[in-house]
Amino acid sequence: MHDFRYVGNKLFCEGVAVETLVKKFGTPLYVYSQRTLTDHFQKLDSALGALDHLVCFAMKSNSNLAVLRTIANLGGGFDIVSGGELQRVIAAGGDPRKCVFAGVGKTEAEIEFALLENIYCFNVESEPELQRINKVAARLKKIAPVAVRVNPNIEAHTHAKITTGTYENKFGIEFEKIEGIYARASKLKNLRLRGLQMHIGSQLTTVSPFEQAIRKVLPLVEKLKKRHALEFFSIGGGLGIVYQPVLASGSADWWQSAAAKNVLTPAKYAARLVPLLRPLGLKILLEPGRFISGNAGILVTRIEYVKRTGKKNFLIVDAAMNDLIRPAFYDAYHEIVPLTRKGGAPISSDVVGPICESGDYFCKDRPLPKLGEGDAIALLSAGAYGSVMGSNYNARPLPTEVLVNGKKFAAVRERQAVAKIWADEKIAPWQK
Ligand SMILES: *Cc1c(COP(=O)(O)O)cnc(C)c1O
């Protein structure tokens, strides 16, 4: 589901016209649907109902406090990748004991903080990291729960920048080395071998790579479970979403749309994976990011200028690659729709931002309705890896973020004051 649709000719998020939000908060503006976040979390959570499981939201996809609170209120845990993210979980009222800590470069300070907050598990990516966690735990007189991230060397068939499960990637430890590592780790006194983890990539749109990786790793998990009394197996995140046009196709109901026919649904995912995992008798962890947040957010922007050249129709908008970098970084596609639906013949258009980079575009040669100065448009499916990757490039303040719930809405991040961009900078003493 996603809860952005036209009511008459106006784009709505749940029960609120997006135009109302633009009038109140201006542009660029991120809008999140609480109902969509909830629906995605619950669909996945209930699809896994036959397993002892925990859904840990990969908060690097969207770490706004209100988004985190939504997940926490649903009983979800969090997949964190830094000490800062753990602080965010705490600030949002989430439970550190439901957090798993991933990432190849955990610092001593981060490990100490996470140990003191009693996180559920460290997902460890190298042998030196195991040694370091053991050392910090010894100093604090604690036992650190750890799982090693196994790299199953499975091609995920996704974009190169989001493939993580092959030996070309920096992530995890080679499949063949895992047993030896667990044997050595079991001798480190301040570690508890709690589980095994993997994550093969992001935006996977079929179940097959997941199934392949799980089938490959299952015998290993069974062995390790017996030898080291493991408690869980985390199969990572990576469930893909539909970015292709949905609203433009005229479908009122998301699940009825043409795009939805090929989508990886929680039901399809669970039907293939639950029967494989259930006989293990372990707790199963899931780390979905994009699946929960991706289609729960849009970026709204206003057209500043229409610039026609001999070759192109440029729509120059007030959002830019610093607000949403996915098209520039991942060649990502975002559906673009006007807040007020228009008829007439489409015009091939490039939607571009004001930043001085040729990479600062949202789409190229896309048939869009005839739009003019002052019209507002929405980039759909911008809830994951959108605002979290925002920067202040070109001294542009981070945009407002709004959460909608039914007919209610609230700013859950105020537009950054421009002076805050350089608030931590100084003139050097000898320059005075
Ligand atoms: C990024 C990441 C995820 C989430 O990926 P999605 O594609 O957003 O589901 C899960 N686990 C780990 C270890 C990650 O790095």
State pLDDT tens for residues 23-32: 999 999 999 9
Q: Which atom of ligand 1 is nearest to the CA of 204?
A: 7
- In angstroms, rounded to a whole number, what is the distance separating the alpha carbons of residues 195 and 123? 9
Q: List pocket residues of ligand 1, CB cut-off 6 Å.
A: 58, 60-61, 79, 102, 199, 202-203, 236-239, 287-291, 384
pLDDT of amino acid 243: 86
Phi, psi of 145 (to 5 degrees): -75, 125
Rounded to an integer, the average pLDDT of 163-189 is 89
Tokens 């009511």 appear where? 7
Among 41, 285, 287, name the best residue to mutate to test ligand 1's pocket (greatest count of ligand atoms within 8 A of Cβ): 287
Q: Answer yes or no: are the C-beta atoms of 258 and 251 closer than 8 Å.
A: yes
- In angstroms, rounded to a whole number, what is the distance separating the alpha carbons of residues 262 and 284? 26
Task: Tell me whether domains 34-289 and 295-422 share a fold.
Answer: no
Phi, psi of 365 (to 5 degrees): 45, 50
- In angstroms, rounded to a whole number, what is the distance separating the alpha carbons of residues 288 and 286? 6
Rounded to an integer, the average pLDDT of 92-113 is 98
Question: Considering Cα of 353, then 357, then 362, then 367, what sign does the dihedral take?
Answer: positive
Among 61, 163, 210, name the best residue to mutate to test ligand 1's pocket (greatest count of ligand atoms within 8 A of Cβ): 61
**Element of type H or E holding 232:** strand 232-234
Separation in Å, CA 360 to CA 299, 300, 410: 15, 16, 29
59 in helix, strand or coil? Answer: helix
Q: Answer yes or no: are the C-beta atoms of 32 and 67 closer than 8 Å.
A: yes
Rounded to an integer, the average pLDDT of 173-192 is 97
Q: Which atom of ligand 1 is nearest to the CA of 294?
A: 8
Kindly provide the b/e burial profile for residues 236-248, where b requires at least 16 CB atoms within 10 angstroms of the residue's own CB: bbbbbbbbebbbb
- Band of the pLDDT at 158, cuts 50, 70, 90? confident
What's the CATH class of domain 295-422? mainly beta
Task: Give me the residues paired with residue 379 across strands.
Answer: 299, 336
- For ligand 1, the distance from its centroid to the CA atom of residue 124, given in whole angstroms, is 15
- Written as six digits, the tokens of 427 are 């003139």
- For ligand 1, the distance from its centroid to the CA atom of residue 353, given in whole angstroms, is 28
Higher pLDDT, 167 or 16: 16
- For ligand 1, the distance from its centroid to the CA atom of residue 316, given in whole angstroms, is 33
pLDDT of amino acid 245: 76
Inter-helix orientation angle 127-139/178-185, to 10°: 20
- In angstroms, rounded to a whole number, what is the distance separating the alpha carbons of residues 173 and 239? 22
Q: In this structure, which residue's CA is closest to atom 8 in ligand 1?
A: 289
CA 18, 20, 25, 30: dihedral to nearest 10 degrees?
-10
- Written as six digits, the tokens of 284 are 């199963």
Q: Is the pLDDT of residue 15 over 70?
A: yes
The mean pLDDT value of the chain amounts to: 94
- Band of the pLDDT at 170, cuts 50, 70, 90? confident
pLDDT of amino acid 256: 59
- For ligand 1, the distance from its centroid to the CA atom of residue 202, given in whole angstroms, is 6
pLDDT of amino acid 125: 95
pLDDT of amino acid 253: 55
Residue-wise pLDDT for 248-307, tens only, equals 655 555 555 655 667 789 999 999 999 999 999 999 999 999 999 999 999 999 999 999
Strands (E), 133-206: 144-151, 173-174, 191-197
DSSP summary character for residue 262? G
Domain residue spans in the chain?
34-289, 295-422
pLDDT of amino acid 244: 79
Task: Give me the residues paired with residue 195 across strands.
Answer: 147, 232
pLDDT of amino acid 254: 55
Q: Which atom of ligand 1 is nearest to the CA of 102?
A: 13
Q: How far is CA 57 from the centre of its chain?
A: 8
- For ligand 1, the distance from its centroid to the CA atom of residue 101, given in whole angstroms, is 11
DSSP summary character for residue 16? E
- The domain defined by 34-289 folds into TIM Barrel (3.20.20)
Q: Which atom of ligand 1 is nearest to the CA of 289?
A: 8
- For ligand 1, the distance from its centroid to the CA atom of residue 348, given in whole angstroms, is 35
Which residues touch 205 (CB under 8 Å, ≥6 apart)? Answer: 240, 262, 263, 264
Which residues touch 269 (CB under 8 Å, ≥6 apart)? Answer: 44, 47, 207, 210, 239
Q: Which atom of ligand 1 is nearest to the CA of 287?
A: 10
Separation in Å, CA 402 to CA 23, 38, 111, 339: 13, 16, 33, 16
Question: Considering Cα of 252, then 258, then 259, then 265, what sign does the dihedral take?
Answer: positive
The residues carrying an active-site annotation are 356
- Written as six digits, the tokens of 282 are 């372990």
- For ligand 1, the distance from its centroid to the CA atom of residue 56, given in whole angstroms, is 10
- In angstroms, rounded to a whole number, what is the distance separating the alpha carbons of residues 350 and 365? 5
- For ligand 1, the distance from its centroid to the CA atom of residue 153, given in whole angstroms, is 17
- In angstroms, rounded to a whole number, what is the distance separating the alpha carbons of residues 384 and 161? 15
- In angstroms, rounded to a whole number, what is the distance separating the alpha carbons of residues 167 and 2? 36
Q: Which atom of ligand 1 is nearest to the CA of 123?
A: 13
pTM of the model: 0.95
Q: Which atom of ligand 1 is nearest to the CA of 291?
A: 9
- In angstroms, rounded to a whole number, what is the distance separating the alpha carbons of residues 38 and 50? 20
Rounded to an integer, the average pLDDT of 377-383 is 97
Rounded to an integer, the average pLDDT of 370-382 is 97
Residue type, 9: N
Q: Answer yes or no: are the C-beta atoms of 333 and 380 closer than 8 Å.
A: no
